Amino acid sequence: MLREKRVHPRYSHDEFALLTTAARLSRMPVGGYVAETSLAAARSDDPAAAVADYRATVKALMAANGRLAQVGNNLNQLTRHLNQDGPWPEADLVRRLLSHIEASIDGVDVAVAQVTSGR
């Protein structure tokens, strides 16, 4: 389908940063992300709810991304400690860390599935 109509939205620096992050997480160019999400809302029976759902999903992705960064930092610290021939950490600590990693990955997987299914 040939798209002949254009709109030219303007964004603040912070808003554009949010769009860029959401588009990157969705593996889409920013323009494509803006087009797809706005069309998904427009096609919805309740456009306001559709926009709120996307916003909540993007926030969930950003929060999960932050948690995964923290977990990665913890893993780097643990690896450095183990490479220095320090004593092995308590098994319970390792289990809790791995559980946190799995929960974070699950959260990202759910959010990504929501974003990608909305295309």
pLDDT, tens only, 23-66: 888 778 999 889 888 888 888 787 777 777 777 777 777 788 78
In which residue are the tokens 């603040």 written?
Answer: 12
Q: Which residues contact 97 (CB under 8 A, 6 or more apart)?
A: 71, 74, 75, 78
Given this model, what pLDDT does residue 117 score? 64
Q: Which residues contact 9 (CB under 8 A, 6 or more apart)?
A: 34
Greatest distance between any 2 Cα atoms in the chain: 65
**Is the model's pTM score more than 0.85?**
no
Alpha-carbon torsion angle 64, 21, 53, 48, nearest 10: 160
